[in-house]
Structure 1
C-alpha cells in the first residue's frame, strides 16, 4: 500500500470545487482518516458545515471570520484585512499540519488567495513541497497557478458550461451553500 500523501487540485470556473473536496473529506473520514478542512475567503454559514459537525472530532474545520464579500466588492482596507487574515490562518494551518494529526488536509480557496496576492505563491509552494509525507493535500479555487499545477499529482478543472445565475436564479440553500 502506498503511504505517501499526494496533492490534488480542483480548479476552474465551474461550480463544485468545494463540493468535490468536501466529498473526498467525507470519504476519507468514513475510512478512518482524520480530516482538516481550512476555508479561506469564506465565512458564511453553509450546509456542509452542519453535516461536518456530526463527524467531529475526526473532521475539523478552520475558517475565516471576516470575508463576507467577493474580492471585487471589497474596499482597499477590506482587501488588506482579508490578506492579513489569510496569512494568519495559513501560519496556523502550517503548524497544525506539521503535527501529523491529520491525514487529509483540504485548503479550500487557497488558489484564490494566491491569485489575489493575499498569500505569496512561494509560501504556498513551499508548504506543498515540504508537507509531511503521509499528508494527502487538496487545494481548491479558481486560477490555479502553473507552478502549483506542476507540483500537484491530481488536477481537475471544473468548467462552467451553464449556470442558473445566468437566468437570475440566486444561490439556493442546500445546493449552492
Structure 2
C-alpha cells in the first residue's frame, strides 16, 4: 500500500465553481497511486452522480444519515476524527457550509488537525474558509470571473451536478 511521506492541509474555498471538483480530482489522482482516500460530505443531501461513479473508481464518499443537519455535521466530524489516522487522504467536502451554519467551529477543525498524522493529507472545501487559511499549507480561492449562469443558463446535469 502506498503512503505519503508528508501530509499537508489544503483548503479550496471561494465563491467560484470548482471546489468539490478540485477535491475529487485530487482524490482520483491519489487513488490512482494507491493511496487510501476517504471523502466525507457535509450538506450534500442529494444523491449526486459522483456517488455512482466513486465506487467504480475506488473512491469512498460518505454522507451522514442522522435526522437533523446539526446531528449530521456532528456525525461527519466524529467520522473524521476516527478515520484521520486510518487514511492517506481525508477530504471534508462542504465544510464551509457546516461552519457557516454554526455546526462546526474553528476549534473543531483545529482539534482535527491536531489529530492528523504527519503523513495524512487533509483537504477542506467550501465557501467562507479563508479565516482558516492560517491553519493550512495550501489555500486556493476559486473566484468567479465569468459564468454562463449570469446569462440565465442554469446548472447542467453532468457538468455542475
TM-score (norm 1): 0.82
1:94 to 81, 102, 117: 81
Q: How does 1:35-114 map to 2 (within 5 A)?
A: 35-56=37-58, 59-65=59-65, 81-98=68-85, 100=86, 102-114=87-99
3-state SS of paired residue (2:28): helix
Query: How far is the alpha carbon of 1:36 from its aligned partner?
Result: 0.3
What is the CA deviation profile of residues 31-54 of structure 1, one whole-angstrom value per residue up to 9, with x for unaligned ones?
Answer: 110110111000212222222110
Q: Assess if the C-alpha contact under 8 Å between 2:40 and 2:92 holds in 1.
A: yes
2:112 aligns with 127
Distance in 2 (CA, whole Å) between partners of 1:95 and 1:140 is 19
Q: Which runs of 5+ in 1 are unaligned?
A: 67-77
Contact 2:14–2:141 at 8 Å: present in 1 too? yes
- Of residues 135, 140, 145 in structure 2, which corresponds to 1:151? 135
TM-score w.r.t. the length of structure 2 is 0.90
Runs of 4+ with >4 A deviation: none
Cα RMSD between the aligned structures? 1.9
Equivalent position SS for 1:156? strand
TM-aligned CA deviation for residue 142 of structure 1: 0.4
